[in-house]
Structure 1
Amino acid sequence: MSPSLAINLPDVLAEVTAVFACYEDALVNNKVDVLDELFWNSPHTLRYGATENLYGYADIQAFRAGRPAQGLERLLLKTVITTYGRDMATANAEFQRAGSARTGRQSQTWMRTPEGWRVVAAHVSLLA
């Protein structure tokens, strides 16, 4: 395998794991400015949520600004982060919200940009 396609290079995996932890902290603590920063500011960015489809950074930013700030706590049940070369990664997690028996799923595609690692695509869903 060529170095540009190497899976889980230790330094890159550590970077993405750290930025994912930063994202998780921002999510459960409603740090909207951090969440906005960690999404790629592009019309190509998308986020499919449990109840919404958001196309482009502006839609995602508007959603975050209008989202309720309570009930955000959750427990991560399983997280799988995989890096592909030095500039792309995926982060997938199963979670449960406090007081709910339903399992949620979150998938993110991360890309290294000149500003740092950014989410370029995300999907959140709940199992029945």
Structure 2
Amino acid sequence: MEIDIPEVKAEVEAAFAGYEAALVANDVAALDGFFRADARTIRYGGGENLYGIEEIRQFRKGRSPAGLARTLERTAITTYGRDFAVASTLFRREGDGGRLGRQQQTWVRFPEGWRVVAAHVSTLPVSPLPVGTP
């Protein structure tokens, strides 16, 4: 299996960037399009566990559009073959007390394009340890 085929990695990086732009703009329709429309798609969030695209859609519709802007750090996207990828990033939001957020997504290529099939978002409390310290 080839890891990080340049053109495949570029495709996933573009999809990830599109997702990020939709997220901070609270473009609910676009966000829905990045997730696989399937009952098996899962998103674990900061305060919710969402099973299936319908639960994810309901969460998105009810989410406040305030305070979604963020700064990404240490984004790592790795592709495995031509149809599977993992995107991981750290993020910070102004006014969030300095907490460090984490996001990880599993992307799969389907006939309709790259889609997230599993996602996890969580935050860590403020820590004096530098990023990357165990």
Q: TM-score, normalised by structure 2?
A: 0.91
For each residue in 1:34-85, what CA deviation from the matched residue of structure 2 results, as whole angstroms up to 9, or x when unmatched?
1000000001100000000000010001100100011100000110000000
- Between the aligned partners of 1:32 and 1:78, the Cα distance in structure 2 is 26
Measured on the aligned residues, the alpha-carbon RMSD in Å equals 0.6
In the alignment, structure 2 segments of 5+ residues that lack a partner are 126-134
SS in 1 for 2:26: coil
Task: Pick from 85, 98, 113 the counterpart of residue 116 of structure 1.
Answer: 113
- Between the aligned partners of 1:72 and 1:23, the Cα distance in structure 2 is 13
The sequence identity of aligned pairs, in percent, is 57
Q: What residue identity is the alignment partner of 2:59?
A: F
Q: How does 1:1-128 map to 2 (within 5 A)?
A: 5-100=1-96, 101-128=98-125
- Between the aligned partners of 1:98 and 1:34, the Cα distance in structure 2 is 24
Aligned length: 124
Q: What residue identity is the alignment partner of 1:69?
A: P
Q: What residue identity is the alignment partner of 1:56?
A: G
Q: TM-score, normalised by structure 1?
A: 0.95
